[in-house]
């Protein structure tokens, strides 16, 4: 267990540089977003802003983990600047081996399969939590498009691309959406705190009325 925790922490450390940049960008753009919402007669509460912040820093961190060469941030922390762009000779791996890997056993394989699912759950959960009219197909489209983009981009940073990752990532986004649906069923009033709220606008009318 300790080894898996160490591996997880190593991944988190690699996510930190871009996550910090994402946090800075979030707060820089926040006044602009607030002004645009005010003009529309809408308000984003503390709960929604917190959820958006978490989603932004996670997405930025995931970019650091997936869109750079393997070991890039570790090498950078040791004062080395590795080559950023290099086309992968491995190409795209099209063979679906998910079930074979599960049946063959091995804790490391299971860890990697589970990780590909868990890493994409936020892409189904947070957009549904803070968005308007969430739907299963939106989570499916988000997970599929983001994962496909990452896998194609990895070809240009010297990493291999795998259709299994796309399948697992997309399933992870769906799991995130189902987690949102479960939360909404169990605590609808809590979920409502993460939605945009109407505010008083000119002439005392509510937005949308």
Q: Which residue has the tokens 């063979």?
A: 95
Rg (C-alpha) for the chain, rounded Å, is 20
Q: What integer pLDDT is reported at residue 200 of this predicted model?
A: 64
Record the pTM: 0.88
Q: What integer pLDDT is reported at residue 172 of this predicted model?
A: 98
What pLDDT, in 10s, does the model give residues 44-64? 999 999 999 999 999 999 999
Q: What integer pLDDT is reported at residue 208 of this predicted model?
A: 45
What pLDDT, in 10s, does the model give residues 140-177? 999 999 999 999 999 998 888 999 999 999 999 999 99
Two tokens, residue 135: 């739907």
Two tokens, residue 138: 């939106």
> What percentage of the chain has pLDDT greater than the value 90?
64
Evaluate if residue 196 carries a pLDDT over 70.
Answer: yes
**What ranges do the domains of the chain cover?**
1-203
DSSP letters, 110-153, are HHHHHHHHHTTHHHHHHHHHHSSS--HHHHHHHHHHHHHHHHHH
């Amino acid at each position: 267990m300790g080894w898996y925790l160490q591996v997880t922490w190593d991944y988190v450390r690699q996510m930190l540089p871009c996550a910090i940049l994402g946090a800075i960008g979030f707060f820089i753009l926040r006044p602009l977003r607030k002004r645009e919402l005010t003009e529309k007669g809408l308000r984003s509460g503390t709960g929604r802003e917190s959820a958006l912040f978490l989603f932004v820093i996670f997405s930025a961190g995931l970019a650091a983990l997936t869109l750079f060469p393997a070991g890039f941030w570790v090498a950078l922390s040791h004062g080395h600047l590795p080559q950023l762009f290099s086309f992968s000779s491995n190409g795209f791996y099209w063979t679906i081996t998910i079930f074979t890997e599960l049946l063959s056993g091995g804790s490391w394989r299971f860890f990697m399969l589970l990780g590909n699912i868990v890493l994409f759950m936020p892409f189904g959960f947070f957009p549904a939590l803070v968005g308007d009219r969430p739907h299963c197909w939106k989570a499916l489209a988000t997970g599929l498009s983001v994962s496909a983009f990452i896998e194609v981009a990895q070809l240009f940073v010297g990493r291999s691309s795998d259709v299994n990752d796309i399948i697992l990532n997309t399933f992870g986004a769906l799991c995130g959406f189902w987690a949102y649906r479960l939360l909404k069923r169990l605590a609808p009033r809590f979920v409502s705190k993460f939605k945009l709220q109407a505010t008083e606008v000119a002439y005392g009318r509510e937005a949308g009325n």
